[in-house]
Amino acid sequence: MDLKKLKTQYLEHLEIEKDRSQKTIENYDHYLARFLDWAKVSSPAGITDELVRSYRLHLNRFSDVKGKSLKKITQNYHVIALRNFLKFIAKRDIKTLSAEKVELGKREDRQIDFLEMEEVQRLFEAAGGMDPKSLRDKAIIELLFSSGLRVSELVNLNRDQVNLKTGEFSVRGKGGKVRVVFISDQAKSALERYIEKRMDVDPALFARIGIKHLEKKNKADNLRITPRTVQRIVKYYALKAGIVKDVHPHTLRHSFATDLIQNGADIRSVQEMLGHSSVTTTQIYTHVTNKQLKEVHKAFHGKRRK
């Protein structure tokens, strides 16, 4: 069977049988299209060990029009997509390269960017004001830090989903996994103040604000904000607060996890709160929060120095 047809069937399989998100399907489409465009093979039998080795060299040496190369983790995403595609082909009893023969490259240690508590406080203070937009933006920032939500999870929240009395609610994360999210008293207060000022009836928890948006609402257009809007909001207040780091919504998720571990939370609990399927993913936070190593360094390093 033609590889392009198989790719289409595989993407449909991800959507229907695997219930993957639209973003994941788009990424797999991109990674596999890059492989097929480069490989110039039309049948599964044409995918060989040597072809894959050459492709990995191509990814490692690849640079775009601006001279930017692919990070090791991005190269691995391409290889993971190809490997899973080969598994799909093999399950259909079509002869091709065994997925087990495709090994992943060594991953670089991830660099975690997070805010110190003093920076978090400055960020909250920068989002002051009592007008509807300021109240919305403050509620967004407070909720991101309080809950560790991904930006995609935050923008998909509805008003009736968040229980402000109990300070907890359920959210569906990556891979359709449901977890319980907890919010602080400060985030609860910020959300209450924001919701009180809402003039529209849109179900979205976080909505666009302004007369032109209310006019759009009358034309059956929803007011739900986008992930890009949240990115702009966080960046704006970080600059206003004088924070020199490159701050994104995910930085607040990292800050949430780092704060928990620094204050003694166990890694399994943090894994649950972040919605990670594997504790290995959560362990990246222990690299930057290991107080014991810091104490050992302080106690034993440089003692004989004059």
The number of C-alpha atoms within 13 Å of 285 and in the hemisphere containing its C-beta is 27
Q: Are residues 80 and 128 in the same domain?
A: no
Q: 122 vs 281, which has greater pLDDT?
A: 122
**Percentage of residues of the chain with pLDDT beyond 70:** 89
Tokens of 77: 């995403």
Rounded distance, CA 106 to CA 108, Å? 7
> What are the beta bridge partners of residue 178?
172
Write out pLDDT tens, residues 25-45: 999 999 999 999 999 998 999
- Write down the pLDDT at residue 219: 47
Number of domains forming the structure of the chain: 2
Give me the CATH number covering residue 13: 1.10.150.130
Tokens of 291: 């107080």
Q: Are residues 44 and 127 in the same domain?
A: no
Catalytically annotated residues: 150, 174, 250, 253, 276, 285
Judge whether 254 and 113 are in contact, CB under 8 Å. Answer: yes
- Asked if pLDDT for residue 50 goes beyond 50, the answer is yes
Count of other CB atoms within 10 angstroms of residue 139: 22
Over residues 63-91, mean pLDDT: 90
Which residues make Cβ contacts (< 8 Å) with residue 215, sequence separation at least 6? Answer: none
- Write down the pLDDT at residue 147: 93
Which residues make Cβ contacts (< 8 Å) with residue 214, sequence separation at least 6? Answer: 199, 200
- Asked if pLDDT for residue 145 goes beyond 80, the answer is yes
Structural domain of 66? 3-101
Rounded distance, CA 106 to CA 113, Å? 22
- Residue 107 covered by a domain: no
- Residue 306 covered by a domain: no
**Percentage of residues of the chain with pLDDT beyond 90:** 60
Write out pLDDT tens, residues 245-300: 889 999 999 999 988 888 888 889 989 999 888 888 888 787 666 656 666 667 77
Across the chain, mean pLDDT equals 87
Q: How far is CA 109 from CA 106, 200, 237, 282, in A?
A: 9, 46, 29, 13
Judge whether 179 and 273 are in contact, CB under 8 Å. Answer: yes
Closest CA to 94 of 204, 211, 196, 2: 2
| Enclosing H/E stretch for 300 | helix 291-300
Q: Are residues 125 and 52 in the same domain?
A: no
Write out pLDDT tens, residues 166-190: 998 999 888 778 899 999 999 999 9
